[in-house]
């Protein structure tokens, strides 16, 4: 039985300066789509995402967290890469987006046009920057039970999601997460502060809700032509309501539940089309020992995008998936 091809799209925290530069320089389709999307963003916002993410004065290790740029740039990279994969005859059977990555799923599945999706992304930025205080997000490499039984964690942060059994993410105010960081350091518990300036998936962004929801009601949402596995519900969704694109950044991320649901149904080949192969690690950690599924990243911090793209084509060709 053929494995299902699942396109994966990650969200805030996966971005970095010079992401997908290898593809931009050497893959014509990717470059054309990036320029096309950048032009749309510029028409809406008068800002160039390409000038920001490919700033020659910035290195991959520099902090990349200005949501005016990272919000649309993540989408641009993911959508452009999806177009490259499809051009090579590899079509998704399903799409999954985590948090901001759900916007890419929405556009690729035809629920909204690319322009409408970008307008929704940029409006979200405007609503959050205008109405919300700054915050932080931190990934903790430990069982989520630590959060449940540790007052300093659950009293000073909100649980964003559990990506696998030994990895959870929290959101909170700057001073609160600094307090938590000190606690984790004292106990040699590994953690990583994510490159974001706001506490997504928490009450900290709630002040943006009213204005953003009013904007979203003005859009027309079609039924998806590619099945969407939602990290908002942990299941497939057949209809998208006007509040969906708010809820995917406000409510907890049910990535683990979504993957478990897919794995229960059939074996899959997951293509991680996010900027930093973040979801590849999450997928591998969620697969059972005897699972026949596999996950392949394309964009990594090691500047091997073209090589990874060839590996995708080789793997799918061997599985007789290419059309």
Alpha-carbon gap, residue 201 to 163, rounded angstroms: 14
What torsion, rounded to 10 degrees, do the Cα atoms 35, 40, 45, 47 define? 10
What are the tens digits of pLDDT across the range 272-289?
A: 999 988 899 999 999 988
pLDDT at 81: 96
Pick 64 or 116 by higher pLDDT: 116
Every domain of the chain with CATH number 3.30.70.250 lies at: 136-193
Which pLDDT score, from 0 to 100, does residue 319 have?
Answer: 64
Indicate the CATH number for domain 136-193.
3.30.70.250
The band of 105, judged by pLDDT with boundaries at 50, 70 and 90, is: very high
Which residue numbers are catalytic? 99
pLDDT at residue 321 tops 60: no
Which part of the chain is CATH 3.40.366.10? 4-133+202-318
Confidence of residue 55 (pLDDT cuts 50, 70, 90): very high
Enter the tokens of residue 214.
């009013």
Q: Which pLDDT band holds residue 302 (cuts at 50, 70, 90)?
A: confident
Neighbours of 142 (CB within 10 A): 18
Mean pLDDT computed over every residue of the chain: 93
Are the CB atoms for 275 and 20 separated by under 8 Å?
A: yes
Q: Is 8's pLDDT higher than 50?
A: yes
**SS3 breakdown of the chain: % helix, strand, coil, rounded to 5?**
45, 15, 40
The whole-angstrom distance between residue 218's C-alpha and the CA centroid of its chain comes to 24
Q: pTM of the prediction? A: 0.94
What superfamily in CATH does domain 4-133+202-318 come from?
Malonyl-Coenzyme A Acyl Carrier Protein, domain 2 (3.40.366.10)
What is the pLDDT at residue 31? Answer: 97
Q: Please give the pLDDT value at position 323.
A: 44
Q: Over the stretch 129-179, which tens digit does the pLDDT of each residue have?
A: 999 999 999 999 999 999 999 999 999 999 999 999 999 999 999 999 999
């Amino acid at each position: 039985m053929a494995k299902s091809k699942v396109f994966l799209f990650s969200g805030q925290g996966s971005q970095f300066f010079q992401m997908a530069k290898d593809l931009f320089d050497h893959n014509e389709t990717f470059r054309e789509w990036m320029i096309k999307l950048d032009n749309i963003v510029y028409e809406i916002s008068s800002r160039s995402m390409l000038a920001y993410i490919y700033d020659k004065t910035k290195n991959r290790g520099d902090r990349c967290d200005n949501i005016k740029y990272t919000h649309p740039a993540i989408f641009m990279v993911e959508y452009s890469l999806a177009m490259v994969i499809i051009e090579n005859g590899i079509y998704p059977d399903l799409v999954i987006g985590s948090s901001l990555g759900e916007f890419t799923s929405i556009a690729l599945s035809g629920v909204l046009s690319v322009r409408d999706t970008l307008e929704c992304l940029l409006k979200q930025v405007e609503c959050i920057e205008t109405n919300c205080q700054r915050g932080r997000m931190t990934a903790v490499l430990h069982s989520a039970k630590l959060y449940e039984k540790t007052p300093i964690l659950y009293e000073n942060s909100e649980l964003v999601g559990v990506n696998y059994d030994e990895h959870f993410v929290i959101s909170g105010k700057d001073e609160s997460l600094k307090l938590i960081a000190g606690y984790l350091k004292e106990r040699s518990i590994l953690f990583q502060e994510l490159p974001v300036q706001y506490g997504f998936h928490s009450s900290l962004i709630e002040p943006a809700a009213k204005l953003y929801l009013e904007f979203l009601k003005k859009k027309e949402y079609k039924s998806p032509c590619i099945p969407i596995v939602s990290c908002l519900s942990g299941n497939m969704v057949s209809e998208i309501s006007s509040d969906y694109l708010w809820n995917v950044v406000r409510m907890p991320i049910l990535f683990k539940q979504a993957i478990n649901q897919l794995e229960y149904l059939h074996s899959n080949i997951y293509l991680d089309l996010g900027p930093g192969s973040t979801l590849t690690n999450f997928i591998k950690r969620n697969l059972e020992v005897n699972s026949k599924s596999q996950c392949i990243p394309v964009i990594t911090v090691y500047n091997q995008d073209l090589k990874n793209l060839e590996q995708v084509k080789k793997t799918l060709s061997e599985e007789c998936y290419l059309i």
